[in-house]
A and B are shown apart, each in its own frame.
Chain A
Amino acid sequence: MITLGRLLIGILLLALWQIGTVTGVLHPLFFGRPERILAVIVQWFVSGEIWQHLAVTIAETLMAFTLGTVLGVAAGLWLGLSTHTAALLDPFIKAANAMPRVILAPIFGMWFGLGMTSKVALGFTLVFFIVFFNVLQGVREVSPTVLNGVRMLGATRGQLLRHVYLPAALSWVFSSLHVSVGMAFVGAVIAEYLGSARGIGYLILQAEGMFDVDTVFAGIVVLTACALVLDGIVGIAEKRLLVWQPRADHTRDN
């Protein structure tokens, strides 16, 4: 029932768009035409031209995500456990986090050139802070009873780190996966859009330069589809990784 409703709303919106552009209410130069947008997308996939761009954007996203997550976890654990260093670095961390980091894109472009590195760098700065703050929170909110319990079981400091702090921190990282994967993707695309030679962001940039609004919209559609697929994969991963956490819909199943 709800699927049908959603389908109808989707069709209605597309139809309005199509009618608007055909009748001239929506100028095709600014709004494109749904059937032409579809044609561009089909053409991309038929010719196979899209794959190299898609591969680049996804590779940048994955690298930014991996790098940001690994270093974010490491930094979060380190500062979460050494209160003195955390206090010392506090103003710098606050400043780095408060800065609108997207604006670093041109700087990364100058530093790392137009290749993939500058895209990974921007995605990384976005992901890193999300993960870092989640880990910091996770470490600080470890239950003292669990901690003491594990210490009484004879755990060494290293074992505490591995068997208590890390899982506690990772649960926060996993529950912010949707945001951090999304941010890696956004970082990659924005950096591409601001200057690149490949990637979906690059296709949009090119088309915009030629006032080819159909291709711009086609790029946006591909990006959205790609983001939805990534989000779906994250959703599956999340379910696997967080089996031990109570879920709102079934708090207990015994």
Chain B
Amino acid sequence: MTEVLAFDDVGVVFRDAHGGAYTAVGGATLSVGEGEFLSVVGPTGCGKSTLLNLAAGLLSPSSGAVRVFGEPLRGINHRAGYLFQADSLMPWRSALDNIAAGPEFAGVPRALARQRAEEWLVRVGLAGHGQKYPHQMSGGMKKRAQLAQTLVIDPPILLMDEPFSALDVQTRQLMENELLALWQGSRKSVLFITHDLEEAISLSDRVVILSAGPATRPIAEFTIDLPRPRDVAEIRMTPHFLQLQERIWAVMREEVLKAYKQGAAA
């Protein structure tokens, strides 16, 4: 499998104004293969978003290197689409115009950009809601619009930062299934961040566990050999899923406890 995205011994040190330093990521090595759905799970505050920002090129590593299709990454990663944890829609654009933004920036004529946006609007289940502004949309609708906004530019790599964590369970499972269907049709390489182990297992080909911070890095990885296509709600009931979950949780538990103790001490 060819490597689409790779972290080579990457370190990130944040310095504050008082000369203090915090090592968020320490010597992380990790790679995402072509067409692979990789989930990264770790306790809260360990450095998951930091890792994703590195992959996006929004942050440069203090040491080591990030490679995209074998080339060292400099500046923004234009081969990647980023689904943020927080709201990233432009509040002054309607859903449709938000989705049309990417093609528009790339110089696609306005009419064509809107036509493509319209197609994606339908594909993510927002048909008829194109004229709504972000403040008029529910959390789930905004996530769908964000997803369409990212997918319309057809990036080979998809970076997702806990995209569904703010949704209720039903909407969440619905969107997870939709994501799997869309991914299955396009076979993009996905780097998916979550703190929810079940979500990671039900979506992924591979799950990587991060250590608690500081200096987080991958400490274990598991191949998820569950059959596809999957239904995220049903697959959670299968014995094999439960076995995997038990095995991975045994490793993750310790890190979560560590992070919890640090949180309590701080």
Contact = CB atoms under 8 A, between A and B. Distances in A.
Contact of A146 (B58, B77, B89): B89
B92 A254 contact: no
- Size category, A interface: 20 to 34
Contacts of B105: 150, 153-156, 159, 163
Interface stretch (B10-18, B132-140, B182-190, B258-266): B132-140
Contact of A154 (B56, B90, B106): B106
A163 B136 contact: no
A167 B135 contact: no
A245 B86 contact: no
Contacts of A148: 56, 58, 82, 84, 88
A145 B84 contact: yes
20 contacts: A146-B87, A146-B88, A146-B89, A146-B90, A146-B91, A149-B84, A150-B88, A152-B58, A152-B77, A153-B101, A153-B102, A154-B78, A154-B106, A154-B153, A155-B101, A155-B105, A163-B105, A244-B91, A251-B135, A254-B137
The 4 lowest CB-CB distance pairs between A and B, nearest first, are A149-B88, A246-B135, A153-B102, A244-B133
B4 interface: no
Contacts of A244: 91-94, 133-135
A151 B58 contact: yes
A26 to B, nearest CB: 52
B138 A254 contact: yes
Given A145-B87, A145-B88, A146-B88, A152 B82 contact: yes
Contacts of A254: 132, 136-138
Contacts of B101: 150, 153, 155, 163
Contacts of B56: 148, 152
Interface residues of B, number: 33
Interface of B: 56, 58, 76-78, 80-82, 84, 86-94, 101-102, 105-106, 132-138, 146, 149-150, 153
Contacts of A168: 92
Interface in A53-99: none
Nearest to A247: B135
Contacts of A252: 135-136
Contacts of A243: 133
A164 interface: yes
A171 interface: yes
A167 B138 contact: no
A143 B81 CA distance: 19
A153 B153 contact: yes
A155 B135 CA distance: 23
A253 interface: yes
Given A149-B90, A254-B138, 11 more contacts: A148-B56, A152-B82, A153-B105, A154-B102, A154-B105, A155-B101, A168-B92, A244-B94, A244-B134, A245-B135, A254-B136
Contact of B149 (A143, A153, A156): A153
A254 B136 CA distance: 6
A159 B102 CA distance: 11
Given A163-B101, A246-B135, A252-B135, A152 B81 contact: yes
